[in-house]
Chain A
Amino acid sequence: MTGPAEAVQERDPGLQPERTRLAWRRTTLACTVVAVLAAKQAVHDETGPAGLIAAALCLLVWLGFLRVAHHRIRTLGGAPRPAPMPVRAALTATLCTIALAAFAVAIVV
């Protein structure tokens, strides 16, 4: 942990880490909206076991995205010069997005 004086001194005047953190939060929010839409549709259409499993899968995808975002936000908040995003994080975020799309295709067809 850095002391407040040190943190102020080392702070990036362009607030790049903060902006990136907020971008992650916005993206998490967008992911939440889509996941809620998906879960709502799954439960609304057929509230049998299939619908519940589908809703649980949505929740799982959402939790996966949340985990990546949380890790990244913590990294960005910790260091004054945060390391670049790991490729794994980018891939996970993309896979969660594609999983939601695949889920939507399954509902439409």
Chain B
Amino acid sequence: MLRSVGAATGNRAGRVRRVTEFVRGLRLWFAPQRVREEGETPDYRFSLANERTFLAWIRTALALIGGGFAVDQFLPGLAWGVRAGMALGLLAAGVLCALRAVNHWVRCERAMRRGEDLPVTRFPTVLSLVVAVVAVVMVVVVLFGWEGGR
């Protein structure tokens, strides 16, 4: 029922539904046995595919965090503010990515057990836009900030 409401009306109901979904997913993190209680166990191959997706997102998070380290370590010529800002941005993206990985994994697992559609998300779009912006900023800063620094 909630789903049809979210689809029919505009932003507000959809947002409320998303928040409720998120809170319910959050509860599942800390009461893992409840995931197993509902629905029926899906084909093990689907669960393994879901697990691999989770791991791929964790790797993405680790890569972003490694990027944060790299910015801090390998661009010492930059002003502290710019360097710290870019590093913190990458690190925050990494943390978000890790949290989202586990949340999405739980939601997919639950949807498969219940036989529902898999959850859709615009997180990949947001993440790729953020990465693109950071890359452009880095190019600009390296090109112009370098000359200013030396």
* Contact (Cβ within 8 A) A84 B44: yes
A-side interface mostly: helix
* Contact (Cβ within 8 A) B45 A14: yes
What is the total number of residues of chain A having a CB less than 8 Å from a CB of chain B?
38
What is the total number of residues of chain B having a CB less than 8 Å from a CB of chain A?
42
Q: Which of A81, A91, A100 contacts B102 (CB 8 A)?
A: A91
B-side interface mostly: helix
* Contact (Cβ within 8 A) A90 B102: yes
* Contact (Cβ within 8 A) B98 A27: no
* Contact (Cβ within 8 A) B73 A37: yes
Instruction: Tell me the complex Cα distance, A33–B63, Å.
Output: 9
Instruction: Tell me the complex Cα distance, A97–B14, Å.
Output: 30
Please indicate the chain B residues that have their CB under 8 angstroms from the CB of A100 in the complex.
62, 65
Q: Which of A17, A33, A98, A108 contacts B48 (CB 8 A)?
A: A17
Kindly specify which of B51-59, B114-122, B129-137 makes contact with the partner chain.
Answer: B51-59
Q: B141 near A: Cβ within 8 Å?
A: no
